[in-house]
Amino acid sequence: MKETYDFLVKTEVNYLSTIDGDKPSCRPFGTPIIYDDKIYILTSKHKNVSKQINKNNNVCIVAYDGENWLRINCKLIDDSSNTNVKSKFLEEFDDLEEAGYSLDNPDMQVLYMSNVEAILYDEDGNELEKYCF
């Protein structure tokens, strides 16, 4: 898990894909956090990505560091009632409050990765490492 998290942090921006009806939908996502031995991401419940995850929580996340790339297939589990995780996000990222995130904002959604298969590839597509957690 630590290797997967470290790679996502190093790349700063990663791309999360969901299913929108019968079509894929992909968008950039920011840095995750680790809390309680889980990798968490943050979004807002009013966004399409949240609605798509609520319908089908199987996602793919891809990150590239200029040399290698990581593909993560996982389920995202909503843990929005966990105020400790929300507090950790707010502590780690100063700009979240300016973006409207706060503990009393019911749209603030935190999700953790479950059933993770993360595969690290080189630029030629050769598998370098595989992490499952």
Tens of pLDDT along 71-98?
999 999 999 999 999 999 999 999 999 9
- The C-alpha atoms of residue 72 and residue 113 are separated, in whole angstroms, by 9
Instruction: Convert the pLDDT of each residue in 16-45 to its tens digit.
Output: 999 999 999 999 999 899 999 999 999 999
On whether the 2-132 domain is CATH 2.30.110.10, my answer is yes
By the 8 A CB rule, do 68 and 130 touch? no
Give the phi and the psi of residue 80 in degrees, each rounded to 5: -65, -15
pLDDT band per the 50, 70, 90 thresholds, residue 64: very high
Cα–Cα distance measured from residue 11 to residue 66, given in angstroms and rounded to the nearest whole number = 9
84 alpha carbon, distance to own chain's centre: 18
Distance CA 75, CA 100 (A): 26
